[in-house]
């Protein structure tokens, strides 16, 4: 202590290159993975070409990360004279000219068919950004941008003013709980690592879990892509608190952009003495190594992750001895999720009280007493505004889905929301007013998990959903322990026979029995939660299971074996389009006469229904 890290950081900040020009208009193309997938790279090229042609007024062109509304990518933000930006949606390369017309005022957005939203839109208004405070605003590849936005201030201040124990106390008092799904208080984890290290004389190490693998979840990827320095700073603060000098980031190979951005950020941090020996002139040293995972879902489980890091196949081990005591290569190990670590610098700079004031419960005495801060969700599925949302803990599912997400598209009804990924569960409409926090969702039979939130409309068959997750997990189970490996086969086999109309009385009970066994006896959290999608759909949609088994009917008309396509002779004009498109050659009929489907030949693909212009094809 009593060093001058803060002064050093100020010097760094002052020496930052100032490459902003005084252009009245700043145009930012959002280049997250979602944007690039939707064509943002081409949009950027076209913008550059147009600017180079000199036909437009002086504009400063910048690139940044995803702005959150992923269903409307590519997005381009335009800010005039330092005002808050307007965001143009769906700006594909062919719309770049229209965009410039709008900027010049030649045409209105409406005339160009360009949609605009601002931060006053309900999508943004109900959000509260803590980890995403810089998303879409700074260039993630620029350390100068990060420094200007306050990066590393937290690290500098603890190096100057706090001893490790004080840092742990501050994090504990903030109530920060693990964002990876477990919800374990970060401060408590850090402090048990410190005592385990003392007890075992081990050298502690800190690991960031960036092995995000839930279907439909991409919060961590977005954080890494938008603000990589927040992770580096969070890890450095954690390392200082637990007495580690080594840090690892376990990131899946499927995140090439996040990895590239992270590698770049680590290099920059090293160059400026924010990583490496003697950080910011103090005697605290810390450096980071990136470990690429090969994409196994189970490697997100802490013990499997650490085994994988050691170069072995990622298989969990029993954690009767916790990883804080016996983790990576047998050393005391703190494993925190990306989002958890991204919160750490914010808590240090703004204080634990500020953080604890957001969310539910009074966590100042005991972090288990509530859920403080915010949570990032990837809101996807049958919802109008799909994207990444950061909300204060405690707002309801309804607010997220209807106010932020804009409700269900296509005039359909809400049926269920799946939270917590494959380990979570499905919640029905009557749970929409539940506040979103760690404990409430768990009590309701689902879990907050890492933040996947899949909305389903009334055309969703819940048995199919359960089967989808069982199949996913069957592929992703490491296969080490019997209940997970064989239990998933058993669940899949029984679900299969229900879906194909061969369900038997007692099958629901059998599913429950096997599911219960998996929860109680599986080795790791993957197996212990693998039956949740089945058990929670049975809990809330038992009648749907019964309908399939007893009546041989699928209410959502999704189970092929249980439905038949028929042509309503009254509506059919005999246009033959269905017969021409049928891949099974199952439709017969003369021109201008009603057609008929041969049920023996029909494979229930639904093409006839899609192509019919007269609503003549019905599903029964």
Kindly tell me which of 278 and 330 has the beta carbon lying closer to another protein.
Answer: 330
- State yes or no: residue 1 binds another protein (CB under 8 A): no
Kindly tell me which of 502 and 543 has the beta carbon lying closer to another protein.
Answer: 502
- State yes or no: residue 201 binds another protein (CB under 8 A): no
Can you list the positions of beta strands (E) in 137-257?
205-210, 246-252
* Minimum distance of another protein from residue 324's CB (angstroms): 15
d(CA 506, CA 508): 5
- State yes or no: residue 489 binds another protein (CB under 8 A): yes
H/E run at residue 87: strand 86-89
- State yes or no: residue 91 binds another protein (CB under 8 A): no
- State yes or no: residue 422 binds another protein (CB under 8 A): no
Identify the residue among 144, 339, 476, 544 touching another protein (CB under 8 A): 476
Closest CA to 450 of 412, 424, 416, 425: 424
Identify the residue among 270, 292, 474, 609 touching another protein (CB under 8 A): 474
- State yes or no: residue 607 binds another protein (CB under 8 A): no
* Beta strand 76-80 pairing with 59-64: unpaired
| Long-range CB contacts for residues 411-416, cutoff 8 Å, separation at least 24 | 412/382, 412/457, 412/458, 412/459, 413/457, 413/458, 414/455, 414/456, 414/457, 414/458, 415/456, 415/457, 415/458, 415/460, 415/462, 416/456, 416/460, 416/462, 416/465, 416/540, 416/541
Where in 495-514 is the site for another protein (CB under 8 A)?
A: 510, 513-514
- State yes or no: residue 561 binds another protein (CB under 8 A): no
- State yes or no: residue 211 binds another protein (CB under 8 A): no
d(CA 182, CA 426): 18
Identify the residue among 107, 126, 317, 553 touching another protein (CB under 8 A): 317
* Minimum distance of another protein from residue 296's CB (angstroms): 7
Kindly determine how many residues on this chain lie close enough to bind another protein according to the rule CB under 8 A.
35
Kindly tell me which of 233 and 315 has the beta carbon lying closer to another protein.
Answer: 315
- State yes or no: residue 302 binds another protein (CB under 8 A): no
d(CA 7, CA 160): 10
- State yes or no: residue 488 binds another protein (CB under 8 A): yes
Segment interacting with another protein (CB under 8 A) among 171-179, 354-362, 480-488, 584-592: 480-488
Place of tokens 């290099």: 267
- State yes or no: residue 200 binds another protein (CB under 8 A): no
Structure tokens at 368: 């288990």
DSSP 8-state symbol, 394: T
Kindly tell me which of 278 and 313 has the beta carbon lying closer to another protein.
Answer: 313
Sign of CA dihedral 607, 608, 613, 617: negative
- State yes or no: residue 195 binds another protein (CB under 8 A): no
- State yes or no: residue 494 binds another protein (CB under 8 A): yes
- State yes or no: residue 487 binds another protein (CB under 8 A): yes
Structure tokens at 80: 């005039």
Identify the residue among 10, 126, 350, 480 touching another protein (CB under 8 A): 480
Interface mask toward another protein for 511-550; x: CB under 8 A: --xx--x--xxxx---------------------------
* Minimum distance of another protein from residue 541's CB (angstroms): 22
Count of beta carbons in the 10 Å neighbourhood of residue 151? 27
Kindly tell me which of 352 and 423 has the beta carbon lying closer to another protein.
Answer: 423
Phi and psi at 506, nearest 5°, equal 100, -10
Closest CA to 244 of 301, 291, 197: 197
Kindly tell me which of 237 and 531 has the beta carbon lying closer to another protein.
Answer: 531
Where in 238-297 is the site for another protein (CB under 8 A)?
A: 296
Quote the Cα angle for 179-157-162, to 5°: 85
- State yes or no: residue 328 binds another protein (CB under 8 A): no
Closest CA to 441 of 393, 388, 401: 393
- State yes or no: residue 217 binds another protein (CB under 8 A): no
Structure tokens at 22: 């005084």
3-state secondary structure 90-153: CCCHHHHHHHHHHHHCCCCHHHHCCEEECCCCHHHHCCCCCCCCCCCCCCCCCHHHHHHCCCCH
Kindly tell me which of 113 and 320 has the beta carbon lying closer to another protein.
Answer: 320
Region of residue 10 (left: phi > 0; alpha: psi -120 to 50; beta: else): alpha
Can you list the positions of beta strands (E) in 313-451?
333-337, 359-360, 371-372, 374-381, 387-392, 414-419, 425-428
Kindly tell me which of 166 and 475 has the beta carbon lying closer to another protein.
Answer: 475
Segment interacting with another protein (CB under 8 A) among 43-51, 198-206, 490-498, 554-562: 490-498
- State yes or no: residue 149 binds another protein (CB under 8 A): no
Site of interaction with another protein (CB under 8 A): 296, 298, 313, 315, 317-318, 320-321, 474-483, 485-490, 492-494, 510, 513-514, 517, 520-523
């Amino acid at each position: 202590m009593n060093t001058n890290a803060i002064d050093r950081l100020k010097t760094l900040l002052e020496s930052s290159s100032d490459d902003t020009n005084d252009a009245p208009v700043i145009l930012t193309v959002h280049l997250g993975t979602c944007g690039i997938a939707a064509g943002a790279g081409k949009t950027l090229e076209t913008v550059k070409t147009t600017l180079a042609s000199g036909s437009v007024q002086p504009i400063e062109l910048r690139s940044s990360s995803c702005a959150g509304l992923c269903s409307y990518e590519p997005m381009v933000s335009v800010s005039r004279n330092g005002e808050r930006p307007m965001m143009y949606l769906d700006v594909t390369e062919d719309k770049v000219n229209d965009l410039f017309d709008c900027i010049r005022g030649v045409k209105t957005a409406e005339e160009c068919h360009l949609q605009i939203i601002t931060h006053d839109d309900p999508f943004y208004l109900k959000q509260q950004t803590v980890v995403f405070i810089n998303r879409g605003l700074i260039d993630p590849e620029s350390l100068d941008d990060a420094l200007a936005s306050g990066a590393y201030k937290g690290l500098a201040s603890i190096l100057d003013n706090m001893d490790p124990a004080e840092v742990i106390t501050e994090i504990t008092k903030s109530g920060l709980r693990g964002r990876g799904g477990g919800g374990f208080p970060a401060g408590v984890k850090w402090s048990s690592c410190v005592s385990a290290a003392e007890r075992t004389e081990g050298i502690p190490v800190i690991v960031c879990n960036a092995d995000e693998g839930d279907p439909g979840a991409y919060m961590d990827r977005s954080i890494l892509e938008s603000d990589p320095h927040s992770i580096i700073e969070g890890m450095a603060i954690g390392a200082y608190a637990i007495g580690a000098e080594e840090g690892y980031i376990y990131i899946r190979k499927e995140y090439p952009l996040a990895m590239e951005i992270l590698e770049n950020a680590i290099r920059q941090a090293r160059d400026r003495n924010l990583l490496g020996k003697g950080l910011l002139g103090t005697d605290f040293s810390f450096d980071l190594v990136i470990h690429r995972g090969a994409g196994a879902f189970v490697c997100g489980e802490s013990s499997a992750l650490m085994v994988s890091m050691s170069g072995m196949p990622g298989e969990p081990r029993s954690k009767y001895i916790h990883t804080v005591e016996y983790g990576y290569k047998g050393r005391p190990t703190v494993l925190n999720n990306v989002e958890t670590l991204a919160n750490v610098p914010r808590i240090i700079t703004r204080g634990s009280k500020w953080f604890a004031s957001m969310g539910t419960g009074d966590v100042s005495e005991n972090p288990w007493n509530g859920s403080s801060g915010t949570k990032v969700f990837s809101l996807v599925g049958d919802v109008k505004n799909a994207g990444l949302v950061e909300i204060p803990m405690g707002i309801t599912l309804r607010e997220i889905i209807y106010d932020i997400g804009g409700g269900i598209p296509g005039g359909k009804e809400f049926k269920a929301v799946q939270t917590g990924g494959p380990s979570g569960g499905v919640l029905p409409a009557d749970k929409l007013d539940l506040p979103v926090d760690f404990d409430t969702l768990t009590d309701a039979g689902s879990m907050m998990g890492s933040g996947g939130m899949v909305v389903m409309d009334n055309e969703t068959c819940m048995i199919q959903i359960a089967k989808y997750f069982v199949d996913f997990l069957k592929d992703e189970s490491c296969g080490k322990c019997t209940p997970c490996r064989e239990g998933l086969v058993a669940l899949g086999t029984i679900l299969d026979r229900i879906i194909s109309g061969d369900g038997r009385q007692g099958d629901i009970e059998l599913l429950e029995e096997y599911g219960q066994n998996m929860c109680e006896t599986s080795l790791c959290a993957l197996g212990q939660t693998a039956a949740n999608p089945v058990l929670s759909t049975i809990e809330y949609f038992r009648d749907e299971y019964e309908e399939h088994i007893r009546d041989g009917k699928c209410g959502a008309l999704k189970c092929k074996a249980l439905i038949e396509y028929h042509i309503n002779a009254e509506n059919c004009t005999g246009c033959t389009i269905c017969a021409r498109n049928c891949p099974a050659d199952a439709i017969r009929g003369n021109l201008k006469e009603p057609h008929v489907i041969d049920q023996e030949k029909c494979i229930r693909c639904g093409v006839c229904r899609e192509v019919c212009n007269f609503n003549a094809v019905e599903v029964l």
